[in-house]
Structures are given as C-alpha cells and as structure tokens.
Amino acid sequence: MGIRGGSRPAAPGPGHGAPRLRDALNRAVREELLTRNVALLVDMPKASKDKGTANAREAIPFLRSVRAHRLYAACVLVLVLGLRRSEVLGLRWQDIDFEAGRFTVRSA
C-alpha cells in the first residue's frame, strides 16, 4: 500500500444525500405511501465551482509562516500530499515505515 491505502470512495460533498432523499420521497408518493413530497419545497444551494484549492504560490508562504507551529507536519501532509484532515488525524506511529521512508493511511 502507498500513501492512500485501501480503495474507498471519496467523501461525499455538500448536498450529496438530498437528491437521494428527494427520489425516495417521490417513490413513496408514487406508491401512495405519502400524499406529497416535501423535499420539493426546499431550494437547493448552487454548487460552487471554486473548490478553494491552494496553488504553490499560496502554499509556500503559508508553510513558511507555520514552520514553527506544532502542527506543521500535518499542514504539509494536507497541502503537499492532499490528505484529508481525518486521514492525518488517523495516522499512528505504527503506520510509518521509517526504513522505507513511507507511511500508510489505514483509517480516516
């Protein structure tokens, strides 16, 4: 296993479950279990195209400014390797192979 161990789906984004709920309620209306689908009354927010990702020009000054902070290594893992916060927080010493110079993300 490499940096990202296992094969799991990406974390769902905002609004991920709303279409499924709307579909389930529509089906319940068709099957006459409900009289109306209240999910149709909700205005869904528009998805933002800007994911807020940092480029190298922004990341380097940030990493320099937090160099002395106790969470500097976590910042590097997030920015440079693209680990999620939960993946960084789930790392344990036993996940690191110092001899091979690698680590494995086992839990998130």
Largest CA distance in the chain: 64
Q: Residue 101: is its pLDDT beyond 70?
A: yes
The string of pLDDT tens digits covering residues 4-58 is 444 444 555 555 677 888 899 999 999 999 999 998 888 877 776 666 677 888 8
CB-based contact 108:84 (threshold 8 Å): yes
> Residue 75: pLDDT band by 50, 70, 90 thresholds?
very high
Cα distances (Å, whole numbers) of residue 10 to 35, 43, 71, 95, 100: 35, 25, 24, 21, 27
Is the whole-model pTM more than 0.85?
A: no
Q: Supply the pLDDT for residue 4.
A: 47
Residue ranges covered by each domain of the chain: 14-46, 53-108
Nearest to 5 by CA among 76, 79, 91, 98: 91
Q: CA–CA separation, 50 vs 73, rounded Å? A: 26
Rounded to whole angstroms, how far apart are CA atoms 105 and 56? 24
